[in-house]
Structure formats: structure tokens, C-alpha cells
Amino acid sequence: MKPPRFEYHAPRSVDEAVDLLGRYGGDAKVLAGGQSLMPMLNFRLTRPAALIDVNRIAALAYVREDDGVVAFGAMTRQRTIEFSPEVARRLPLLREATRWVGHLPIRSRGTIGGSIAHADPSAEYPAVLTALEGEVVAQGPRGRRTLQAAELFETYLTTRLAPDELLVEVRLPAMPAGAGHAFEEFARRHGDFAIVGIAAMVVRDGARCRTARLATAGAGPVPVRLRAAEEILERDGLGDAAIAAAAARAAELVRPDSDVHASADYRRHLAGVLTARALTRAVERAR
Amino acid sequence: MTDPATVRLTVNGTPREGRCPPRKLLVDFLREDLALTGTHVGCEHGICGACTILVDGEAARSCLMLAVQADGAHLTTVEGLMTDGALHPLQEAFRDHHGLQCGFCTPGMLLTALDLLRVKPAPSAADIREGLSAVLCRCTGYHGIVKAVQAAAPILRARTEQRSRP
């Protein structure tokens, strides 16, 4: 099918975009990479009065590091992230997760800000944002504010951004040197939406684990930070028994729903299996 | 701003222009307004990959872009692959290795493979399979397509080296 009729705006600045969002009072949609919104428009699952296309706002595409935090302009393409030497060096978990986002032609257009603001529970970037305790910067009529990953996601496809706010930046703390990482995902076909995905990072301190980070995709209405599983590793180290115990705990912590792709039980089972796989690979990589 | 807008862009090296409403998809603009029907409309939600073209040198779904978004862009479609009446080496390889049957997915396969070979000039069979999973083919079973891309890779590498020689 084809998109319904809408008013089209392509502002050149963030201020202009925010003004437009305010003018439509919630009846406008922000068009970023369009890899989720365009299918929804083509299927007429959404019928916004207006599209605010932010692709012409050049100031929203950048990757820069400041004081141990890597900041991404919301319109930074997934493809740019995939091939960025800085991301490979400072955020290898994000790079690995990016390879799971659709396919290369999708990543040519898809953006980090769009993926996070869309808040699809099976998407990879919200899981990475959650695991790494990242934050986003939103700009609204009253200026800018920062939202932590833990407070950003409300439920399926819904964030706590206000209708007149634009997500302008994603901020991820650079991973500590020597940290091990892995992104594990199960999907029926490569490039499909995840049934379940797990983002993992471990920081080793000899045989002990200084920091463990685990978050899910596809295992509930929002990404789930698996704090109680992390605590097992931080207490008992990074041996096989601790990994098995953390994986078992992960399966208990998630509250997935059943849908046409998989039952809740199956997703719960996958959360455990993928946590074990992700941790095993992350520990192998940790120095 | 639902009124038709002028779209100026470069397609296969030629400046082109058209007028269309903002809701017109890029793939429909190519086919209906510019009469470039080589790019095929499949699923219209980014899954099948038949409409894949190069936008500023990068493979992208033309069913997931509005024509107005391509204003100022440089596009490559399947019509732009031949030079002086000769097939592109990748097209030759598809013909030689039975990389197509009904041909519906072929334009998307070609542009996707071209982008893949630019990013990864010496891909493994697994790389090719992963890259081509971006486009669905219902006839060939993919084996011929994978073989074609494998066969084209060294030819395209040699071409790139030749061009970069002083």
C-alpha cells in the first residue's frame, strides 16, 4: 500500500523541528531513518497529520567523545556506527549489536535516535542503551533535558518523551578498557526482529568480576536490566557455575508476553540460554 | 504542505526532475514519473528488498523513502549498471551462474550485492549469504546468486585496482 496524505515538513534546524512538533500538538510524527515509520505509513497503521522529516538537519549527525562518554547525534546512521573505528574501539558492544539490526540496506538509512525513540521492545539499540546505562537528550519548547535509559521506556513503542520533544542525542559511557562484551540474539531468519536478544558486558578483576551488565530485547514490553543476575557474577566471579546461575536467574527475571512469533515460556527459556551464551563469549573476550 | 513539490536529483549520472506529492514513494517516482521501471515494487515494507537501489552510493530500500527525501541525491538503479551496451560484470556473473529465474528480485539483488562487494571486496560465502539475506528470491534457492557474487568479486576487485592505478 501507499502512505496516507500528510503535511510534510523538512526543517533545517532542531529549533524549527521542535516548533513544528509543538504546532501539531501530538498529531505529527518525526521521520528519522524511516525503516519502521515508513512501513507503518505504507500499511496505514499510523495516520499522522504531519511528518516532520529531520533528515535535513545536518547538525544531528555526529559521533564525538567527551570525557569518557560517546555522544551520537540522533540522526547518526546505523551504517556509520557499524563502520566507525571509534565505536569499534570504545563501544564494541554497540558495534556488535548493530550487525543484528535488519540488513545493511536498512542500516544505510536507520538511525540510532530513531531506533531508540521508536522503542520497539525487540530492537537491539534500546537493549544496549539499557545495559550500558546510557542516556538520551531531548529538546522541547522549554529547552533540553536528559533521560536515563531506565526511565526512558514506558511500554511497547512508547517512551516518556513528550509529544513536543525531539530526541537529539544518545550518550553512552565508553566501555572500560579490557571489558568483554557480546550481543546474542535469536531470530527465525537473519535480519528479522529478535525473538529474544541479550546484551552483555563484563569487566574482569583477576578471577573476580568487577562489573557485569545484562539487558534484554524482546523479553517484555521494555528492555529489562537483569540486575539480580549481574549481582551473582559480581559476587561469585566469572566461572561456569556463576554463569549458569546468572543465566537461570535471568530466565526468572523476565516477564515476556506470548505473541504470534513465540510463547512467553519459549522467550523465557531463550533469555536463559542466550544469557549463558553471551556471558561465555563476553568472559572469553575480557582481559 | 501536501501540495506537489519539485524533486531534482541525479539518476545514473543524469540530472532528472519531477513533481509529485510528498507522500509519493521514491520507488513509485522512479517508475511512474521517471519511467525507470527496472526497480521493482515488492512488499512495500522493506522486507523483500526488490526495490533496493543505491542512494548516494549506499544500498537502501526505495519503498521506505519518500521521493521528496531524495531531492539532491545521486541514485543508481539497475538501468545504470550497463556501460556502452555491455552488461556490468556482476550482471554477466548472474547470467553465467543462473543467478536469476523470473527476474523479479534481480534488480534488488544486483544493487545489494554491489554495495556488499564495495564494503567487503573479498567476502566469504557466509558474508555473501548474510548480505544477500537482505533480498528475498522465490525461484532460485539462492545457490546460483551466491555463486554469481562469488565469481564477480575478483573481477570487481581487479577493476577497482586498475582504476586506482596512476
- One domain for residues B55 and B99: no
Q: Is residue B103's pLDDT more than 70?
A: yes
Provide, rounded to the nearest whole percent, the portion of chain A with pLDDT above 90.
97
- One domain for residues B96 and B151: yes
- Rounded to whole angstroms, the Cα distance separating A60 from A80 reads 13
Quick one: which H or E segment has residue A235?
helix A227-236
pLDDT at position B161: 87
- One domain for residues B70 and B97: no
Residues 119-178 of A with CB under 8 A from B: none
Contacts of A57 (CB under 8 A, 6+ apart): A11, A12, A13, A14, A17, A75
Q: Half-sphere exposure of residue A11, counting CA atoms within 13 Å on the CB side?
A: 19
CA separation, residue A190 to residues A20, A33, B76 (Å): 38, 20, 26
Instruction: Fold for A7-53, please state it.
Output: 3.30.43
All residues of chain A having their beta carbon less than 8 Å from the beta carbon of residue B112 are 104-105
CATH of the domain at B115: 1.10.150.120
Domain's final residue, options B80, B114, B140: B80
Q: Mean pLDDT, chain A, as a whole number?
A: 97
Q: Is residue B165's pLDDT more than 80?
A: no
Residue of A nearest to B21 (CA): A5
| Any B CB within 8 A of A39 CB | yes
* DSSP code for A5: P
* DSSP code for A108: T
Q: Are strands A135-140 and A143-148 parallel, antiparallel or unpaired?
A: antiparallel
pLDDT at position A1: 82
Domain's final residue, options B51, B80, B109: B80
- Rounded to whole angstroms, the Cα distance separating A87 from A93 reads 9
Q: What is the mean pLDDT of residues B105-115?
A: 98
CA separation, residue B127 to residues A40, A130, B97, B116 (Å): 30, 29, 18, 9
Could you read off the pLDDT of A133-164 as tens digits, one per residue?
999 999 999 999 999 999 999 999 999 999 99
Could you read off the pLDDT of A79-96 as tens digits, one per residue?
999 999 999 999 999 999
- Rounded to whole angstroms, the Cα distance separating B23 from B66 reads 6
| CATH number of the structural domain A180-285 | 3.30.390.50
| Any A CB within 8 A of B10 CB | no
Instruction: Determine the 3-state secondary structure of A125 from DSSP.
Output: helix
pLDDT at position A172: 98
Q: Is residue A49's pLDDT more than 80?
A: yes
CATH of the domain at B28: 3.10.20.30
Residue of A nearest to B112 (CA): A105
Q: Mean pLDDT, chain B, as a whole number?
A: 96
Instruction: Determine the 3-state secondary structure of B109 from DSSP.
Output: helix
Q: Which residue among B45, B59, B133 places its CB closest to the CB of A42?
A: B45
- One domain for residues B123 and B141: yes
All residues of chain A having their beta carbon less than 8 Å from the beta carbon of residue B123 are none
Dihedral pair phi/psi, residue A112, rounded to 5°: -70, -40
Q: What is the mean pLDDT of residues B127-147?
A: 96
pLDDT at position B166: 67
B41 in Cβ contact with B17 (< 8 Å):
no
pTM as predicted:
0.96
Could you read off the pLDDT of A169-226 as tens digits, one per residue?
999 999 999 999 999 999 988 888 899 999 999 999 988 999 999 999 999 999 999 9
CATH class name, domain A61-173: alpha beta
| Any B CB within 8 A of A10 CB | yes
What's the structural domain count of chain B? Answer: 2
Cβ contact A103–B21 (<8 Å): no
Provide, rounded to the nearest whole percent, the portion of chain B with pLDDT above 70.
99
Q: Where are the domains of chain A?
A: 7-53, 61-173, 180-285
Q: Which residue among B21, B58, B64 places its CB closest to the CB of A38?
A: B64
The residue with cell 523513502 is B65
| Any B CB within 8 A of A235 CB | no
Cα A14–A41–A96 angle (5° rounding)? 70
pLDDT at position A216: 98
Could you read off the pLDDT of B56-95 as tens digits, one per residue?
999 999 999 999 999 999 999 999 999 999 999 999 999 9
- One domain for residues B73 and B94: no
Band of residue A14 on the pLDDT scale cut at 50, 70, 90: very high
**Range of the structural domain that residue B61 is part of:** 5-80
The residue with cell 523470473 is B102
Cβ contact B52–A105 (<8 Å): yes
| Any A CB within 8 A of B4 CB | no
